[in-house]
Amino acid sequence: QDVGAFPAMPLSSLFANAVLRAQHLHQLAADTYKEFERAYIPEGQRYSIQNA
């Protein structure tokens, strides 16, 4: 049976969708940070931050 305006969907399907979106967002965040790091943090400083 339909609940409100939402089509009935198996929970596993919703969960798989959520996982895919989370992975995509994580990749996007990682790429964005790498871009920021390259643009704004001098190369010599990058490694000292990571190894601290």
pLDDT at 45: 81
pLDDT 10s digits, 2-51: 556 667 889 999 999 999 999 999 999 999 999 999 999 888 887 655 55
Domain locations in the chain as residue ranges = 11-50
pLDDT at 42: 86
Longest dimension (CA), the chain: 61
Looking at the chain, the whole-number percentage of residues with pLDDT higher than 70 is 77
pLDDT at 31: 97
Q: pTM of the predicted model, to two decimals?
A: 0.58
pLDDT at 28: 98
Give CB contacts under 8 A, 24+ apart, made by 31-39: none
